Amino acid sequence: MIEIDGLTKRYGDKTAVDGLSFVVEPGVVTGFLGPNGAGKSTTMRLIAGLDRPTSGTVRVNGQHYPGCAAPMSELGILLDARSVHPGLSARNNLLALAWTAGIGRRRVDEVIELAGLADVAGTRAGGFSLGMGQRLGVAAALLGQPQTVVLDEPVNGLDPDGVRWIRELLKSLAEEGRTVLVSSHLMSEMAQTATRLVVLGRGRLISETSVEEFTGHATTGGILVRSPETARLSELLAATGVTVTDDGTDLLHVSGATAEQIGMAAWQAHLPVFELTPARASLEEAFMQVTQDSIEYHAGATR
Amino acid sequence: MSAVTQTGPLSAQTAPAPATVAGRVTQVRVVRSEWVKLRALRSTWYCALLAVVLIVGVGAAITGSGPPYTISAGNSAAGGVAVSLAGVVIAQLVLSVLGVLAFSGEYATGMIRATLAVVPSRLPVLWAKMIVVVGFVLPLSLLAAAAEFFVATALESSRGGSAISLTDPGVLREVVGAALYLAVIAVIGLALGALLRRTAAGLAVFAGVFFVVPIVTSYLPHAITGFVPYLPSNAGGDLWGAGKLFGGHQLGPWTGFAVLCGYAVVLTGLAAWRLRHRDA
């Protein structure tokens, strides 16, 4: 579990994170979203104790992380920027981290295998591709079997096979009861993996919710109606004052009426309807709407 | 799916903590971790090889090039050994690089983030690096200085110079002292690397203080040069006889060495403060 309370971080006169409070629960994958510069990476550095908060507190599994006796059992972290030594082999990079917690070679070999690095384990990490470096970073985060896993853009640079590996990995970590916080720019990826969401904009919390609620609240909304009589149905509905978009296929996009109202109207006019579907906004659309609002709000507030 | 969303966090709270393999961070474990890094980096072995070659090579070249060394009233055995150890002056630059890189290399590559994330109390990392750097440089320098002593004495006896033995006054102290001096130099390099975080900055400061300042001060008017013996290179150099090479202003071997160690302690203290209190 990660508990963040009133967290603020200033670098000089630039405020990267501003009065942030949220909780990341164990047992589910929590997506961490926000436009570039929203403060996601800064928050992750603060969670790992790499930077000190200007004010506010971060607790990892109920403890102040820098004071933990066995840090690697509490938190495993992959940071956006590279944090491996290019002059050391993949195995030595992992071994150097492992020894600090008394983790042996067997576990190191295990994560090397898990991350698909067995063939390059003895090669200097400096020659690694972005994807390989990313796999090494994820392997490092998993080394101590931590209760809480924080990954910044883990799918960055990964091939489709690697993307699927991360997706399944995150889900299985959550199923084991671990806390999983993961950021990504790939909304479709996030929609598939995450159950909860924490959304930042300009260093502030915009939303802390479930993926379903988040997309449900987006206003794209409307109802998709499939019917062989789209022309007559569209005329009928337009007469009641709702907005109907007819794209010439057998689908109508109706907003301003509920599915019940549309179904009833069609039944009364003896028009067949094959499908009535609430049109949900995609996570990406919801994200754009929400973050756009926050940016406009902030721009207005500072004027 | 929505049912899972609702019950996930609740069921996890009642579930036992997930399995882990990670134990507590101890100083011994961090030392082991730092040894993996130092041992596996090529730069460590380049520096080591170069330092040995410089100590033995420069010493042999100087010993072999002058007239045979004969012990007399003005020329002590220890003086002859000091001359043969002149390579230490250049080797110290190489070993300071080793020290600086042990810390600045982590900042340059970003590995420091991984290191401090697994040792968030941070200071054990500094102590561990210090232990492995001293543990590596001290035996290495001792080996090189001893090898140089035997090469130099063999050279002298082959060309008719006086026989010098390790039991002659001050000789053993100079040979061991050269190794002690170089070990402290590596610690100063390490502290500079931790304090300044940049390889170039660390090396510039080291070279400035150990090479440029001593030369500049030799041109200063006599009245204001009272501090010169306290410069780290001059103070520490007394232990291995550098004063006999460059002349003047001695504090005495162990007092001088204590002054050099004082610099190392102050720099290490500053490095520890910065490591502990500043963002990584």
Q: Which residues make Cβ contacts (< 8 Å) with residue A260, sequence separation at least 6?
A: none
Q: CA–CA separation, A254 vs A238, rounded Å?
A: 9
Task: Give the pLDDT score at A297.
Answer: 47
Task: Give the pLDDT score at B15.
Answer: 53
Q: Do residues A258 and A199 share a domain?
A: no
- Say if the Cβ atoms of B25 and A69 lie within 8 Å: yes
Is residue A296 in some structural domain? no
Q: Do residues A239 and A193 share a domain?
A: no
Is residue A205 in some structural domain? yes
Residues of A in contact with B15 (CB under 8 A): 27, 177
Q: CA–CA separation, B211 vs A259, rounded Å?
A: 84
Is residue A55 in some structural domain? yes
Query: Domain count of chain A?
Result: 2
Task: Give the pLDDT score at A188.
Answer: 80
Q: Do residues A227 and A108 share a domain?
A: no
DSSP A125: G
Task: Give the pLDDT score at B226.
Answer: 82
Mean predicted confidence (pLDDT) in B1-17: 45
Q: In chain A, positions 229-288, which contact chain B (CB-CB < 8 Å)?
A: none
Angle A90-99/B111-118 helices, nearest 10 degrees? 30
User: What CATH number corresponds to the domain at position A260?
Assistant: 3.30.70
Q: Do residues A8 and A100 share a domain?
A: yes
Q: Do residues A107 and A227 share a domain?
A: no
User: What CATH number corresponds to the domain at position A198?
Assistant: 3.40.50.300
Highest averaged pLDDT of the listed ranges A136-145, A183-192, B80-89, B163-172: A136-145
Residue A75 touches partner B, C-beta closer than 8 Å: yes
Q: Among residues A164, A184, A217, which one ends one of the domains?
A: A217
Q: Spell out a b/e string for A4-34, using b for 16 or more CB atoms within 10 Å of the CB, else e.
A: beebbbeeeeebbbbebebbbbbbbbbbbbb
Q: Which residues make Cβ contacts (< 8 Å) with residue B2, sequence separation at least 6?
A: A212
Q: Do residues A152 and A8 share a domain?
A: yes
Is residue A293 in some structural domain? no
Q: Do residues A112 and A210 share a domain?
A: yes
ipTM over 0.90: no
How long is chain A? 303
Mean predicted confidence (pLDDT) in B43-51: 97
**Long-range pairs of A151-155 with CB within 8 A, sequence gap ≥ 24:** A151/A77, A151/A78, A151/A180, A151/A181, A151/A182, A151/A183, A152/A40, A152/A41, A152/A44, A152/A77, A152/A78, A152/A79, A152/A80, A152/A183, A153/A80, A153/A183, A153/A184, A153/A185, A154/A78, A154/A182, A154/A184, A155/A184, A155/A186, A155/A189
Q: Do residues A124 and A199 share a domain?
A: yes
* Residue range(s) defining the domain that contains residue A90: 2-217
Q: Would you write out chain A's pLDDT as a tens digit for each of its 303 residues?
A: 999 999 999 999 999 999 999 999 999 999 999 888 899 999 999 999 999 999 999 999 999 999 999 999 999 999 976 889 999 999 999 999 999 999 999 999 999 999 999 999 999 999 999 999 999 999 999 999 999 999 999 998 899 999 999 999 999 999 999 999 999 877 888 888 999 999 998 899 998 999 888 877 665 567 888 989 888 888 888 888 788 887 778 888 888 888 888 888 899 989 999 988 877 677 777 787 777 766 544 444 443
Task: Give the pLDDT score at A299.
Answer: 44
Cβ-count burial of B158 within 10 angstroms (0-12 exposed, 13-18 middle, 19+ buried)?
exposed
Is residue A30 in some structural domain? yes
What is each CA distance from B16 to A27, A151, A195, B4, B108, in whole angstroms?
12, 23, 22, 18, 41
Q: CA–CA separation, B157 vs A231, rounded Å?
A: 114
Residue A128 touches partner B, C-beta closer than 8 Å: no
Q: Do residues A245 and A167 share a domain?
A: no
- Say if the Cβ atoms of A100 and B9 lie within 8 Å: no
Residue B131 touches partner A, C-beta closer than 8 Å: no
Q: Do residues A16 and A104 share a domain?
A: yes
Lowest mean per-residue pLDDT among A153-157, B95-99, B223-227: B223-227
Q: Do residues A265 and A249 share a domain?
A: yes
Name which residue leads in pLDDT, B226 or B139: B139
Which structure tokens are listed for A197? 């969401």
Q: Among residues A173, A194, A217, which one ends one of the domains?
A: A217
Say how many CB pairs under 8 Å bridge A and B: 171
Least Cα separation, residue A201 to chain B (angstroms): 23
Task: Give the pLDDT score at A37.
Answer: 85
Whether the Cβ atoms of residue A272 and residue A244 lie closer than 8 Å to each other: no
Q: Does B54 have pLDDT greater than 90?
A: yes
Q: In chain B, positions 167-186, which contact chain A (CB-CB < 8 Å)?
A: none
Q: Do residues A231 and A272 share a domain?
A: yes
